[in-house]
Amino acid sequence: MKKLFHIIILISLISPVKANTLYELIKIPNLEIYDLNTPNKLRYVYAKQPFTIGLDNNINCYNSSNTDLKKKYEIIRNELDKYDQKFLRKINLKYIVLCEDLSISGINTAGIPDNVMKTLIVDIKFNNKYFKRVLHHEVFHIINDSYKEIFNENEWSLLNDKNFSYAECSTCTDKLGLDTYLNTNGFISEYSQSTASEDMAEVYSHIISKIIPKKIDPILTNKINFIKEKLALIDQDFKI
């Protein structure tokens, strides 16, 4: 056993240094290029092997089968092709990382946005019912993180009923439902009621996915207008 250990150490020491451009650029290991030929210059990459990143290695994601990747890639491309290169550059999104069973601190999540590294990690195995819309939800977090001053949470919170207050964080509440309300009460889904940021992301994703209930209350109407007005400040040409 000891000999085997020494052999492994020896092999690792004599292995030549290998260049890994993707790691160099976005600091996520074990990735390979999936597709670079996109009209909006989004770079799709996938996990060749599981990877662990983040503070205390708290973000984990696993590699997927080629079949799953191919199937989900078409859906993701179709949704994200709605954004043009100019808009994506403004919001700092360039790399889409495809993997499965994505979790942060043990909690499963649909996506992890990082506007600094211009990266969105997507769990391709996330619930199919909400998958398309959730992609835009995560894109909004990139937008929000890049333009915190425009999407001001205090300004947003004032749109709500005076007696309402959000939870401390998105995982500090059991309001996690993603179904679109048929009868809105200032919110478009249960998850909207978790935090101001998640509320904005939910409204945004419904606007982009064109899933707006026929009857909406005045508070939600104001929220929809808020999102549209603020997006116009970032890019007037962005078509909603």
Partner 1 sequence: MIEQIKPSRSEKVIFIFIILLALFSITSFFLIKDKCLFVKNHDPNKLKFENSQNIAILNVECGNVIIELYPETSPIAVERFKTLIRTKAYDNVAFHRVIKDKLVQAGDLEFGKKDNLDYGKIGTGKSGLGTIKSEIDNPFDYKKGSVGFSRTSKFNTEDSQFFIILDDEPLYEGEYTPLGKVLYGLDALKKIKYLDKSIYVLRPDFINTFRMLIN
Nearer to partner 1, 82 or 89 (CB): 89
Q: How many residues does the chain have?
A: 240
Nearer to partner 1, 33 or 172 (CB): 33
Question: Least distance from C-beta 93 to partner 1, angstroms?
Answer: 12
Site for partner 1 in 130-169 (CB under 8 A): none
Question: Least distance from C-beta 174 to partner 1, angstroms?
Answer: 39
Question: Least distance from C-beta 71 to partner 1, angstroms?
Answer: 25
Question: Least distance from C-beta 213 to partner 1, angstroms?
Answer: 39
Q: Are 192 and 202 in contact (CB under 8 A)?
A: yes
Site for partner 1 in 73-112 (CB under 8 A): 89, 94
**Sequence-separated (6 or more) residues with CB below 8 Å from residue 171:** 107
Q: Which two tokens stand for residue 186?
A: 């200032």
Nearer to partner 1, 36 or 240 (CB): 36
Q: How far is CA 209 from CA 7, 40, 134, in A?
A: 55, 19, 9
Question: Least distance from C-beta 13 to partner 1, angstroms?
Answer: 7
Q: Are 147 and 234 in contact (CB under 8 A)?
A: yes
Question: Least distance from C-beta 87 to partner 1, angstroms?
Answer: 14
Strands 111-114 and 51-53: unpaired
Amino acid at residue number 110:
A
Q: Are 99 and 121 in contact (CB under 8 A)?
A: yes
- Between CA 23 and CA 38, with CA 234 as vertex, the angle to 5 degrees is 45
Contact letters (x/-) for partner 1, 162-191, by CB under 8 A?
A: ------------------------------
Nearer to partner 1, 82 or 90 (CB): 90
Is 28 strand, coil or helix? coil
Contact letters (x/-) for partner 1, 4-23, by CB under 8 A?
A: ---------xx-xx-x-xx-
Site for partner 1 in 25-44 (CB under 8 A): 25, 33, 36, 41, 43
For residue 38, the 8-state DSSP code is -
Residue 119, Ramachandran bin (φ over 0: left; ψ between -120 and 50: alpha; else beta): beta
Where along the sequence are the contacts to partner 1 (CB under 8 A)? 13-14, 16-17, 19, 21-22, 25, 33, 36, 41, 43, 89, 94
